[in-house]
Every structure is written in structure tokens, then in C-alpha cells.
Amino acid sequence: MPIYSLAARGGAGNYPRVWIRLAGLAFATAFSAGVAAQDKGVATLAPGTSTAKAHRDPVEKSYRKMIRGMDLFERQRALSPSAAVRFKLLARKRETEMNNIEMEVIGSTVAFAVPVAPEDHTFSLPRNQQAYDEDAQVIPNRKAQTMTWRSEIRTPGLEPNTRRLGDLRLECQVGMEAGLVSNSSNVVGRLTQAIFNSPAYCDKKAPLYLFFSDRPLFSVALVAGTRREILAIDKLYAAASDDPGLKDDLPYCDCEVLVDRTYVLPLGDRSWPDDTLIEFEYMEDK
């Protein structure tokens, strides 16, 4: 089942099947009374204050890593010269409440809120040297494994139902650099981290990195000039057609409730230029 965040086999089975459990989100913990009272801006926590410093758990995102992802975006802007980088939260469980998400960056002596757009659940991360130095954590107020994370890079002005391949190449690289893909804490997860948890993974001809469309998919096509290619069915729906055991696998995948929106792309195949359009046909349109 060729899914990056669920099980990796490496093309025609060159890699053993390994579980890579992705981003759920940890419980947001309470600030001290002095910090909780501040709704806006950056709070400096007094020495000795009992803070809500995040556990060093891979389901909570490192502010430092996410800033490094933003730095990579700036270095690689040629892939997406007209876009900006944001981050996106997506539901991982059907019961996940995606309205009124609150998010905070919490370090040992610094804390500040990060607004999440109510329409599409995206956010930008402000730069703060103190939070970076303290390796602060980025924490939404949702339970672990109820949401997942992706980077969001969109060239403005594209036709509806389309994306640009260069944007998606950079989304993968930023997501990997930012540590948005979280491996499980077991031995297998640690062993696979060195293989997959790097932006270089996105340069493979067919990396198994999951993208999610806005709505349930009917088909996905790559279009570059007169060249047009429809993705094979095993590149859609978390390769459900190729895995009769998918139902048992889903709890380990951040695609759990997004299977009908899931697709992978030939990111490292440079015969497809960065300006290649990805065209979506949605189920509701058929």
C-alpha cells in the first residue's frame, strides 16, 4: 500500500512495510494564571512560574522546526515565486471539532497566541527569537491524534479546482523540514525517520507523501502544455484499491477520515515542470 504516512514499501516493494504514525495533536495545557489572563501579544513568564511547557512528544510541533520550514521556503522560492507559506490543520477523526481552534506557542519563559483562520483552518507563524531559542512548542487546544498538519503554499490566481506542481513540491519540502510528519515512537518509527524525515525525500521520483484535496476526488490529472496524464487509481484514495486491509490500517494513518481526498504525485519526476497544473474532478461534480 503505497502511502507515505501509513506504510512504505518503496516502489515495487524495495522497502519493508513500516508504520509511520503521523501527526495527531497533544492536549493543550493550561497557562499559569498570569499568562492565561493575556489574550494578545507575547507573554514573558516570570522565573519559577509553572508554565504549560509542552511535552517533548512528536505529536506536538516544534516551533524551531516550523521556523526552519519557513526558512527553507525562502531559500526555495523559485519553486513557487508568487506564493506565501502558511500551515494547515485538518481533521483526523470524524468527531473532531474544527471550529474555534485556539493555538499557542509556549516556551519556558515566553508564550503567545497564534490565530487560526476559521474558514480553512490555516495559520501563519510569527517569528520570535526567544521562542526559537527556547525550542518552544506549537500547541492547539485539541487532543492528540484528532488532527493532522500540512504546509499550505498556493500560487494566487489559479483556475478553480487546480493546483500548481511547484507549489506542491515545496509543500512537501517545507512539511518535512518543519517536522509536520510525525513518526511513531516505537523502534520501527525511529528507524524509518532517518529515511523519510528529510526534504530530500520529496525529490524521489514518486515519494509517498500524502496530499489532501479540498473535496472528495473523482480523478486527478497532470497537465503541462499538450501533455496530459491522469493519475492511476493506486495514486488516489490512500491506495485503498490495492490494500484489502486498509480498514485495519487507518487508525495509524493521518488520512483516516480523508481517504476520499488523498492523492500522491510524481514530485521528483522533472519531466513535469514546476508550472504543471494539477486538475481535480470532484465526486460532487459527476
Q: What is the dihedral of CA 192, 216, 256, 86, to 10 degrees?
A: 60
- Where do the DSSP E strands lie in 23-136? 42-44, 61-62, 85-91, 103-106, 110-113, 122-123
172 is a domain residue? yes
Stretch 220-234: mean pLDDT: 97
Cα separation, 269 vs 185, whole angstroms: 32
pLDDT, position 192: 46
Residue 61 lies in a domain: yes
Decide: residue 245, CB within 10 A, 0-12 exposed, 13-18 middle, 19+ buried: exposed
For range 212-233, the mean pLDDT: 96
Please give the angle made by the CA atoms of 17, 20 and 22, to the nearest 5 degrees. 155
Nearest to 98, CA basis, from 39, 45, 151, 147: 147
Count of domains forming the chain: 1
Q: Would you say residue 158 lies in a domain?
A: yes
Domain interval for residue 274: 54-285
User: Residue 85's pLDDT band (boundaries 50, 70, 90)?
Assistant: very high
Give the tens place of pLDDT for each residue, 148-198: 999 999 999 999 999 999 999 999 999 999 988 754 434 334 434 545 568
* 276 lies in some domain: yes
Return the pLDDT at 285: 83
Does residue 47 belong to any structural domain of this protein?
A: no
- Assess if residue 125 is contained within a domain: yes
Q: Is residue 227 within 8 Å of residue 63, measured between CB atoms?
A: no
Round to whole Å and give the CA distance between 127 and 136.
12
- Which residues, 6 or more positions from 231, have their beta carbon under 8 angstroms from its beta carbon? 219, 220, 221, 222, 263, 265
For residue 256, being part of any structural domain is answered with: yes
- pLDDT single digits (tens) 132-145: 999 999 999 988 88
Residue 216 lies in a domain: yes
- pTM of the predicted model, to two decimals? 0.78
Question: Is the pLDDT at 49 greater than 80, yes or no?
Answer: no
Percent of the chain's residues with pLDDT above 70: 69
Pairing of strands 277-282, 262-263: unpaired
Question: Higher confidence at residue 22 or residue 109?
Answer: 109
Query: So what's the pLDDT on residue 196?
Result: 59
pLDDT at 5: 40
